[in-house]
Structure 1
Amino acid sequence: MQVSGFNSTSNRIFDFICLWILPLGYLLLLSALFFLPGRSLHHKLFYGLFSIPSLIALCLRPREIKELIREPVFIALLMFAAWAMLSLCWGPQDDESIPGQFKPALHTLLLFAGSYLLVRHRSEIIQPLLFSAAIVGLIATVYNLYMFSRIYEPGLRLIGGGAFDNPLLSSHIFGFFCAYWLSVSMICKRRQMLWLSLPAMAVMFTAVIATGSRTPLVALTLAALWLSFICWNRRSIVLLVALAVGGSGVSVLFARMLIERGDSFRLEIWQLALQRIAEHPWIGHGYNASLTLDPGVGYALQEPHNFALGVLYYVGIFGLLPWLFFQAWGLLSSWRYRVQPLFIVASTWLIFGIGAGLTEGGGIISRPKEHWFLLWIPLALIAALTINQRARRLLALPVNTLAPAAFGQMSANAQVIEEDGLGPKVLRLVDGSFLKLFRRRRWYTSGSFNPYSERFAVNSEQLRTMGIPTPLTLGLYRLEDGSSAVHYSPLPGNTLRQVLQGITAPAVRQALVERFGKFMAQLHEQGVYFRSLHLGNVLVLEDGEFGLIDLADMRIYPSSLSLSLRQRNLRHMQRYTEDRRWLFEDHFEALLQGYAMTASESAVSNLHRQVLAASHPARAH
């Protein structure tokens, strides 16, 4: 009982971390710099709400590490971090403690681990999180631009509020979210989102211009070229034309800003850095080494203003190889899985960071700050997406546009299985397959970020990997009226409700209810919360096994379902008169016996109490 109680407690803690703490921590990681008074508090929020919770989650469930250490990007990162820590052996010996040197690398690794856990267990919330962070950044940027316009005079550069204290570093964050809105404008399917993304992109781009920094302009150009390549469609042509026109406009309107500072001594800085690199080209000067460069500007610089040169200086060619590999592999994975929109957003961020890193930066592993937005944040997201894409937890099918003529041809002579006041909802096509329609939702709801047709396909694939039979998805469609549709091959069999209606022998019905009790317990123990669970959505297949249909309204939790979620599932089934009579009145003992074959004693007792409470509600006094 003590072991069981500990397992239950650890599962609830793990679930709470993955479902609530990590999303909050990730949102603040992306957006908190806009409103926090300094970076120190940003560090603490990341440690307390993302890094440390990720470590606790991995300690509670070490098996989660298995998938993580199979990812090439994470393996290369481990090699890079290990080599950087090993370089402390030949780096300068200072007074800082060894654990203090390891902390930045550990927190970077935990960023990847936490991102994996977040996508693994809350994949449906990733797009809303990114959107929410971008909205926070948009509102803060509008305010910053307004305040800047009130004090502007020639030569003044926008820094921004919150934790921003440098125009160049501020431009990285403005450019990061400008790249996000640019990505959204390329992948969004609804006009309302396009009408928001284009002005939002213009606002963020204006902020980039106001910082007076040229580095993000180069980075955004590369990001736009990458987007037109990875999303090749009619919008790509528009983007390329806009890029040419916009580039010409920026060159004309801001020519002075672009040329008056020349190359900002970059060539001299790089030449000096290469001379220092040549002293120890293979192993570098050490992760904790200091760098001082004097290009003749009257003061010394601490960075080579190029990320690759920084890596070469600190950890040499041996460190540069895994550094180059995890970026190249991340882009290759993004191209391979580009059907998933999140890969397009994350890879665009990575390209932006690569572009910005050509003339900026130099530190290789640091505490959370602006440079994380150029490399570690997009790369961690790509690694997390790749792991879960391979495990078939994310959408793997393209969503095609279904024109009215094509829809009419597909649905010709189809049998209407289900309909509502707006028309057909489920059609049996002439070839025996099914087409299920999902009505258009408001653009700001979760159904806009994760259409129910796509949820159906993803849930179906996940359940099959868990050994639960589900319909095979044949195609996903988007209709011109904003609705979505899923085309699938049905499971051969009858609903459990139909089978029970056809059974006349009580003993046979009782045996079937007992088997269903065991099946329901298996779902609950595997963390499957099927909100629409009732006997009409459970099929009895030709081989006698159970399968599930109508899968859009379903969620898979990290651990077995809590008692409260099991109660909610039962209450849903109790709403149907015939189901309630068969399951909770005539054959309730059989249902309990089947449920007890898999579920814990406490879960069985909870089911018993739930049914008794529903059967004998308290009378009002």
Structure 2
Amino acid sequence: MQFRDLSYSKNRLFDFICLWLLPIGLLLLLSDLYFLPNRSLHHKLYYGFFSIPTLIALVLRPRELKDFLREPIILGFLIFCVWAMFSLIWSNTDAGFWSQLRPSLHLLMLFLGCSLLLKYRGEIVQPVMFAAAVIALIATFYNLYLFVPIYNSHMRMVGAGAFDNPLLSSHAFGFFCVYWLTLIMTCKRAPILLIAIPGFIAMFAALVATGSRTPLVAIVLAMGWLSFMCWNRRSVVLIGALVAGGIVAMTLFSDIILSRGSSFRFEIWAMTLDLIGQHPLLGHGFDAHLSLMPAGAAEALSEPHNFALGVLYYVGIFGLLPWLFIQVWALYSSWRHRVQPLFILASAWLVYGIGAGLTEGGGILPRPKEHWYLLWIPLALIAALSINLRLKTLRDRPVNRLSAPALNSLMTHAQVIEEDGLGPKVLRLENGHFLKIFRARPFYTSGYFNPYSERFAVNSERLQAMGIPAPKILDLYLLTEGSTAVLYEPLPGQTLRQVLQSMGSPSVRQALVERFGKFLAQLHKQGVYFRSLHLGNVLLMDDGEFALIDIADMRIFPSPLRITLRQRNLRHMQRYPEDRRWLFEEQLPELLKGYATLASRAEVESLRLQVARLRPAQVATS
């Protein structure tokens, strides 16, 4: 009994971390630099809400590592980190091994935490990113409001919050500038464009106000990458705007752009290359001392102001190879899976980071700060997306536009199975396939970011991967008025409600209800919470197996369902008179007997109590 209680507590803690702490941690990681007073608090919030919870989750469930360690990006990152730690042997750093290892572990937790979040709460990732972008946008408007009245040609905007350097501030502004630009390129609905276009303009204005030039180059690279990834009419417009903007900038602002010279960059790079030449293969060792004193500089510099040169200096060519590999593989994976919008966004962030890193940085494994925007956050997201694409927890097929004439053609001679006041909802087409239509949702709801048609498709594939039959998805559509639809191949069989209605033998009905009780326990044990569960949504297939249909509002939890969710599932079935009579009045013992084959005594008793709340007198005598 104590072991079962301990297992239950571990499952609840794991669920709490994946479903609540990690989304909050990601939101803070992306946005809190805009309003926190210093980076130290930023570190602590990341450790408390993301890194340490991820470590606890993996200690509770180490089998999760099996899927993560199959991802090439994570393997490349681990090789890079191991080599960096090994290079401490010949490094002249004053820091101890543990203090050097901690940033690597926190970065590893970023990769693994993003993977857990996408696996178990993938539907919230886009809303979290949108919320972070809105927070950043509000803070940016405030920064511009303070900066514009006092602007002069020699000033560079730093920004409020934890920002203390215009170049580092530009990384954060550019990060969300790319976010809004990606939204402009990928969104298919007008309300988002009305937010994304002003958002991009404001973030770009803040980027220019920092006076940093390399992020502008990085934005150009990100624009080129987005045009390549999204190739459509908007790509042509974006390329045209890029060319026109470049001509205008060089015509009107060439003096401002070129007036600051090279900022010692060429001298710094030449000096760094000389040092790299001393130990090209092994490098000088992780965190080795570096002091560069260009002619005319006021003080010595401790960074080569180029990420690649920093890697070469510290860990040599042997360290550079895995570092380059993870970036190249991430871009290649994003190109292959560009039907998934999150791949487009994460890869655009990565391209921006590569561009910004041409003249910035040098620390190869930093603590959480603005440099994470450039490489590590995009890489962690791409690795997590790749892992979860293999696990079938993400959409991996395109959403095609379906014009009104094409929809009418599909609906010709179709049989309406279900409809509401706005028209048909489910149709059986001439060829036997089903078309299920989901009405447009307001832009501020989760159904807007994650349309129910896509949830239907993902849930179907996840159920099939778990060994539970579900409809085979054929296509996804976006309709003219903003609604979405899914085309699928129906499963052969009848609903359990139809079967029980036509069944005359009580003994056969009892056996069938007992089997359904076992199937219900299987769903609950595998974490499947089907909110619309009733006998009309359970199919008895021709081969005798149970299947689920109409699965758009289904969720799959990381652990077996807790008792309150199991009871809530039964409450939904109790709303239907026939289901209530067959399951909870006539065949309740058989239902509980079947449920008990895969459930604990406490879980069976919880279902009995839930039924007792509806009809206490009869249950008490059963």
> Are 1:447 and 2:440 an aligned pair?
no
- Tell me, in whole angstroms, the C-alpha distance in 2 between the residues paired with 1:58 and 1:538: 35
Q: Which residue of 2 aligns with 1:203?
A: 202
- Tell me, in whole angstroms, the C-alpha distance in 2 between the residues paired with 1:271 and 1:472: 59
Q: Which residue of 2 aligns with 1:586?
A: 586
Q: Secondary structure of the residue that 2:241 maps to in structure 1? A: helix
Q: Which residue of 2 aligns with 1:416?
A: 416
> Are 1:170 and 2:172 an aligned pair?
no
- Tell me, in whole angstroms, the C-alpha distance in 2 between the residues paired with 1:254 and 1:43: 38
Name which of structure 1's ranges 439-448 and 577-586 shifts more when overlaid on structure 2: 439-448
Q: Which residue of 2 aligns with 1:130?
A: 129
Q: Deviations over 1:219-249 (max 9, x none)?
A: 0000000000011111110110111112222
Q: Which residue of 1 aligns with 2:481?
A: 481
- Tell me, in whole angstroms, the C-alpha distance in 2 between the residues paired with 1:495 and 1:320: 59
Q: Which residue of 2 aligns with 1:577?
A: 577
> Are 1:262 and 2:256 an aligned pair?
no
- Tell me, in whole angstroms, the C-alpha distance in 2 between the residues paired with 1:139 and 1:451: 27
Q: What is the aligned-residue identity percentage?
A: 63
- The number of residue pairs the alignment matches comes to 616
Determine if contact 2:93/2:289 at 8 Å carries over to the other structure: no
- Tell me, in whole angstroms, the C-alpha distance in 2 between the residues paired with 1:475 and 1:120: 23
Alignment map for 1:319-358 (pairs within 5 Å): 319-358=319-358
- Tell me, in whole angstroms, the C-alpha distance in 1 between the residues paired with 2:549 and 2:249: 55
Alignment map for 1:343-382 (pairs within 5 Å): 343-382=343-382
Q: Which residue of 2 aligns with 1:282?
A: 281
Q: Which residue of 1 aligns with 2:428?
A: 428
Q: Which residue of 1 aligns with 2:393?
A: 393
Alignment map for 1:400-549 (pairs within 5 Å): 400-549=400-549
Alignment map for 1:59-138 (pairs within 5 Å): 59-92=59-92, 94=94, 96-138=95-137
Q: Secondary structure of the residue that 1:400 maps to in structure 2? A: strand
Aligned-residue offset at 1:93: 5.0
- Tell me, in whole angstroms, the C-alpha distance in 2 between the residues paired with 1:254 and 1:126: 39
- Tell me, in whole angstroms, the C-alpha distance in 1 between the residues paired with 2:100 and 2:475: 51
Q: Secondary structure of the residue that 1:160 maps to in structure 2? A: coil
Aligned-residue offset at 1:256: 2.4
Q: Secondary structure of the residue that 2:43 maps to in structure 1? A: helix
Name which of structure 1's ranges 51-60 and 605-614 shifts more when overlaid on structure 2: 605-614
Q: Which residue of 2 aligns with 1:273?
A: 272
Alignment map for 1:547-562 (pairs within 5 Å): 547-562=547-562
Aligned-residue offset at 1:602: 1.1
Alignment map for 1:237-316 (pairs within 5 Å): 237-296=236-295, 297-316=297-316
Aligned-residue offset at 1:472: 0.4
Name which of structure 1's ranges 260-269 and 139-148 shifts more when overlaid on structure 2: 260-269
- Tell me, in whole angstroms, the C-alpha distance in 1 between the residues paired with 2:610 and 2:393: 33
Aligned-residue offset at 1:250: 2.5
Determine if contact 2:524/2:566 at 8 Å carries over to the other structure: yes
Task: Give the letter aligned to residue 200 of structure 1.
Answer: G
Aligned-residue offset at 1:310: 0.2
Q: Deviations over 1:88-136 (max 9, x none)?
A: 1000152x33211111111111111111111111100010011000000
Task: Give the letter aligned to residue 485 of structure 1.
Answer: A
> Are 1:17 and 2:17 an aligned pair?
yes
Aligned-residue offset at 1:298: 2.7
Q: Secondary structure of the residue that 1:388 maps to in structure 2? A: helix
- Tell me, in whole angstroms, the C-alpha distance in 1 between the residues paired with 2:31 and 2:351: 20
Aligned-residue offset at 1:213: 0.4
Q: Deviations over 1:39-81 (max 9, x none)?
A: 0000000001100000000000000000111100000000000
Task: Give the letter aligned to residue 229 of structure 1.
Answer: F
Q: Which residue of 2 aligns with 1:597?
A: 597
- Tell me, in whole angstroms, the C-alpha distance in 1 between the residues paired with 2:584 and 2:253: 75
Q: Secondary structure of the residue that 1:437 maps to in structure 2? A: strand
Gaps in structure 2 of 5+ consecutive residues: 618-622
Task: Give the letter aligned to residue 273 of structure 1.
Answer: T
Aligned-residue offset at 1:615: 1.3
Q: Secondary structure of the residue that 2:154 maps to in structure 1? A: coil
- Tell me, in whole angstroms, the C-alpha distance in 1 between the residues paired with 2:381 and 2:231: 22
Q: Which residue of 1 aligns with 2:145?
A: 146
Aligned-residue offset at 1:154: 2.2
- Tell me, in whole angstroms, the C-alpha distance in 2 between the residues paired with 1:533 and 1:398: 29
TM-score, length of structure 2 as denominator length: 0.98
- Tell me, in whole angstroms, the C-alpha distance in 2 between the residues paired with 1:253 and 1:412: 59
- Tell me, in whole angstroms, the C-alpha distance in 2 between the residues paired with 1:614 and 1:21: 36
* Change over 3 Å in CA distance of 1:38–1:465 after alignment to 2: same
- Tell me, in whole angstroms, the C-alpha distance in 2 between the residues paired with 1:395 and 1:421: 30
- Tell me, in whole angstroms, the C-alpha distance in 1 between the residues paired with 2:111 and 2:5: 31
- Tell me, in whole angstroms, the C-alpha distance in 2 between the residues paired with 1:199 and 1:483: 25
Q: Which residue of 2 aligns with 1:227?
A: 226
Aligned-residue offset at 1:364: 0.1
- Tell me, in whole angstroms, the C-alpha distance in 2 between the residues paired with 1:558 and 1:283: 43
Task: Give the letter aligned to residue 610 of structure 2.
Answer: Q
Aligned-residue offset at 1:15: 0.2
- Tell me, in whole angstroms, the C-alpha distance in 2 between the residues paired with 1:305 and 1:154: 25
Determine if contact 2:87/2:282 at 8 Å carries over to the other structure: yes
- Tell me, in whole angstroms, the C-alpha distance in 2 between the residues paired with 1:334 and 1:404: 32
- Tell me, in whole angstroms, the C-alpha distance in 1 between the residues paired with 2:583 and 2:270: 79
Q: Cα RMSD (Å) of the superposition?
A: 0.9
Alignment map for 1:40-55 (pairs within 5 Å): 40-55=40-55
Gaps in structure 1 of 5+ consecutive residues: none
Q: Secondary structure of the residue that 1:427 maps to in structure 2? A: strand
Task: Give the letter aligned to residue 487 of structure 2.
Answer: H
Q: Secondary structure of the residue that 2:152 maps to in structure 1? A: coil
Q: Deviations over 1:415-442 (max 9, x none)?
A: 0110111110011000000000011111
Task: Give the letter aligned to residue 98 of structure 2.
Answer: P
- Tell me, in whole angstroms, the C-alpha distance in 1 between the residues paired with 2:83 and 2:252: 47
- Tell me, in whole angstroms, the C-alpha distance in 2 between the residues paired with 1:48 and 1:421: 49
In the TM superposition, structure 1's runs of 4+ consecutive aligned residues that sit over 4 Å from their partners are none
Q: Which residue of 1 aligns with 2:620?
A: none
- Tell me, in whole angstroms, the C-alpha distance in 1 between the residues paired with 2:548 and 2:180: 38
